[in-house]
Structure 1
């Protein structure tokens, strides 16, 4: 039945993953529309349980992931290339940074640039522990330190760990771009079985909710800016127009692909964001802002060892539940999406370059970004009469940036620019998510498919799903916080299993590296054949795709690519469809042991 519907709509995907994930999302939307109070209460109870019993686990886990990544980057495995040993990066450093940043937390940095420092300034996180007076100089330092803790190394650790694992298993072992592939050293060819499919369905649904939360916050901020500057009424139809417009543009960008769509939008938006930052720096108290920016790095370095395992154990104020634990759970719920996307744009980089770049570059930019915005916020409070923090607390975080811009020249223009920035960051997150969700369902790189086999309308499905989820929850859920609270609680629920899986992910990644790499100075690794899901292999076999000579279904490596001192690994037994193709064509898989690429012709011996 599923296959018939799949073929009717001319899809190229896994019917079970696609339609099961779609069915879960449809069920959620319908239930929210018809029993919103019950849905809200249910998810609130689930979130309270996770907060109470597993909050410590999130704080502990993310810090452990950071330590693991630093270890991997500095170890001998840091020299391994994410691709062939002599492969070069596909994108320049600037373009790479722009894309990973825009798809990662660009929208969130716009939302919290003023809001988070202002909140922590009014209510210091460790006020009871350290006796910090609200709205004091010590409170300002505390606010900067915790803001950078939330958006610096730890946030990017949550993205970098799955990103590195995806890059390794996709480009070194040639496995499908699915979350289940990250556990191939543990599951073997069962990544295509029931356990693997369950992991993938859970990951797809969790990603939609995580992105939905980001879209919800971005929509509220755009709406707030339009209301403050242009008098747009605070009505549901305005929310619908905002989400609808962004969804349409994101769909066009996603169908266009990475090079024509996402890359151009990301680079443009990073440039405009830097221009806005420079405007604030030059038209504000420039020297004070520069001093605050530099000092923020010192504050962050000093507070990080203190808070990375801090759990509010003794004061037990509950502060962490609404901030740190929520951030980690929410971020990890959509980390598979960002991880796969970062992997897709990072081919050709070494493990060490990947770790240093994904952790270091965004964190450096975060320190500059928040250092200037936070210093500007505190200058307003200490030197310019104050009032900004009270506005943020009264009107909500979505109004914070626009209230801040009131204290600078050309507020109407800068507010319009800020709205555009949020919108484009919104679009780049949404179109990146649609590409990744499509890859996770079909089991191969959407931009790397043979010509003529693409199904771009599949990508549009995911942008529409995310837009519908955000729309329904923002406009049809009752309560003071409405759908944002439900999205937050659902993201928390999905975050806990992902945290547990991440520990297995670390083990699986290190085990794969040890299996594939020798102990010599130049690390030559075993070359793995391209792996496709069975259903895609069958489709390509029916189309007489000549590349199948170097493609398998059960993960396996090519003959002649075993490093001398690496442990022996048995070849996987291939399903009947693979043997049928090889018998029918007389072709055997051949891979160049130097480059890891297929030899010049099917059936030829590997070149030396």
Structure 2
């Protein structure tokens, strides 16, 4: 019943760290809140510059990779084709941009900056302009550059290099075999901790907004314990989707959720100041470009203020904490895309939708607050951010219907975030496996809810915010290493491809291999690329005086080489069948998913098999030599 499929050091190591932090919060809630706030202040004072510089650097790296020669590299073998049509892929990127955050901050953030701006006079036209520039900066390409870097690293090393879909794989060019040791374990542990606290923060925001909506609609008290009860209810629904096969139902509900969110946005556009909003969208974008570099590097070094910790630095930490979650989603749907397509799509598509969303809600709220609302929305935001959207909807027709819709939207976003987040964390904790036992996903789902509930009781959203900001610090360092490893590997692959193009042309029939591959595709690849590659290596080994042979066994080929005074070298190419990977926790269970075939390579010099689907003869030769080198030096 409790069969496990995990990396025990990562699974239990991350659990231990998270458990210790939560025990501290339970044992001494007041002290733990002060501890979290002290840690946040220390991180801001000591490393605020590091967050700002890192995010600017991440944006520069992904743009350089996209616009330079590396932009032509495929996220997969050179012959691979995209798994999804272009429009479907763009639609999924669009969906990735939606979530609890947009529902919570769509009104709250622009109004907050309008009411208490960092620079302009509060409540003025200048404050309104500054509010939208700041909001665009926080939700624009900087956030998606963070996601793009992690997603690009995951996609490149998993789809092109055949490594497991975990964060540690991106450090292989820097660490070599040590990536499978304690250093790699530490990378995955930090990724899990950052992701879990980032999701817990989103859950805390979501449940506070649900509570505010229910207070508005039914008079339910707005207290921390009510919010804990709501967390328990919604997490029970998320757990049920894992245990009882509600995947299809919840998936349909989430798709309906997205449609309803867009309809809500169009409703606000229609009943709000439509002409003003269209003009504001254009002007907001122009102001965003005009202030781009100033806002990218602004730290208020000459006039320190707490505003940075509550907004920009919190956002940068929040995006970094969420990056394994969103990065893994966009990596899984992007096999076969070029680096250039990937980066441009990830940076621009969600950002464009977010700018439209924030303009429609934010500028409408500011316009109403300046006019008919007479400051009521600003007052509500100042007292409680989570009530902002409900005070806003009170100024529009159909308040009861739209407020109920918002509560339902946030609740379903809550469920899907918790369920999909548990899948991503479990994938990292299990070394990249996507067919883990359900109890493991339930375990992480429960831990996410527990973390959100405990930190809400310990110190409210402030404690959640502080925990996220601190947990993201070590992962920011890891992201810098991921960027270095990605640049090194891409440049090496470019050099290798340049050498390949000087030789004989590749067999044109390999370009017909599509994903998902069929058994016939893999058999053809073994015959046309695998067998000649193994024969090339065998001849080289014989020339070096080693006794080497190739044998056929079942669905694959064996290359063996004898060695004096020790075990010989073994390398196997094999056709293997597996369920298509789940894109989110809402996908069908393993037993009901479509199947695909992969060319798997395994040797006694490497712990995990590699996926060589679509590799050419030269690439398979290089893989055999890499395994041979590891065997000799291991």
TM-score normalized with structure 2 length:
0.77
Question: Is contact 2:168–2:179 with CA below 8 Å preserved after alignment?
Answer: yes
Of 37, 45, 66, the residue aligned with 2:38 is 45
CA distance in 2 between counterparts of 1:212 and 1:558 reads: 34
Deviation (angstroms), 1:518: 4.0
2:485 equivalent to 1:508 = yes
Say if 1:318 and 1:244 are closer, same or farther in 2 by CA, change over 3 A: closer
The aligned residue for residue 493 of structure 1 is: 470
CA distance in 2 between counterparts of 1:101 and 1:372 reads: 17
Of 18, 23, 26, the residue aligned with 1:33 is 26
2:606 equivalent to 1:553 = yes
Q: Any residues of structure 2 matched to 1:317-332 within 5 Å, and which?
A: 317-332=305-320
Two-structure CA RMSD over aligned residues (Å): 3.3
Higher mean displacement: 14-23 or 432-441: 14-23
The aligned residue for residue 86 of structure 1 is: 79
The aligned residue for residue 117 of structure 1 is: 110
Write out per-residue CA displacement over residues 47-93 of structure 1, whole angstroms, 9 at most, x where no aligned residue.
Answer: 11111121111111111111111111111211222123333333445
The aligned residue for residue 429 of structure 1 is: 417
- The count of aligned residue pairs is 536
The aligned residue for residue 443 of structure 2 is: 461
Question: Is contact 1:518–1:524 with CA below 8 Å preserved after alignment?
Answer: no
Deviation (angstroms), 1:322: 1.4
CA distance in 2 between counterparts of 1:562 and 1:98 reads: 29
The aligned residue for residue 144 of structure 2 is: 156
Of 195, 207, 224, the residue aligned with 1:207 is 195
Say if 1:556 and 1:410 are closer, same or farther in 2 by CA, change over 3 A: closer
2:363 equivalent to 1:375 = yes
Deviation (angstroms), 1:308: 0.8
2:295 equivalent to 1:307 = yes
CA distance in 2 between counterparts of 1:250 and 1:197 reads: 28
The aligned residue for residue 137 of structure 1 is: 125
CA distance in 1 between counterparts of 2:181 and 2:450 reads: 31
Say if 1:73 and 1:457 are closer, same or farther in 2 by CA, change over 3 A: same
Say if 1:496 and 1:404 are closer, same or farther in 2 by CA, change over 3 A: same
The aligned residue for residue 482 of structure 1 is: 459
Secondary structure in 1 aligned to 2:291? helix
Deviation (angstroms), 1:357: 1.2
More strand by share: 2
CA distance in 2 between counterparts of 1:157 and 1:412 reads: 38
Question: Is contact 2:151–2:326 with CA below 8 Å preserved after alignment?
Answer: yes
The aligned residue for residue 472 of structure 1 is: 454
Structure 2 residue ranges without an equivalent (≥5): 503-597
Question: Is contact 1:102–1:425 with CA below 8 Å preserved after alignment?
Answer: no
Of 49, 55, 64, the residue aligned with 2:48 is 55
Secondary structure in 2 aligned to 1:88? coil
Deviation (angstroms), 1:113: 0.5
Question: Is contact 2:369–2:376 with CA below 8 Å preserved after alignment?
Answer: yes
CA distance in 2 between counterparts of 1:85 and 1:378 reads: 50
Of 344, 353, 370, the residue aligned with 1:365 is 353
2:390 equivalent to 1:402 = yes
Higher mean displacement: 204-213 or 35-44: 35-44
Secondary structure in 2 aligned to 1:517? helix
Say if 1:559 and 1:219 are closer, same or farther in 2 by CA, change over 3 A: closer
CA distance in 1 between counterparts of 2:54 and 2:599 reads: 45
Q: Any residues of structure 2 matched to 1:430-449 within 5 Å, and which?
A: 430-446=418-434
2:211 equivalent to 1:218 = no
Secondary structure in 2 aligned to 1:18? helix
Of 275, 292, 296, the residue aligned with 1:287 is 275
CA distance in 1 between counterparts of 2:454 and 2:346 reads: 34
The aligned residue for residue 181 of structure 1 is: 169
TM-score normalized with structure 1 length:
0.81
Structure 1 residue ranges without an equivalent (≥5): 1-7, 128-132, 447-452, 475-479, 526-544, 580-608
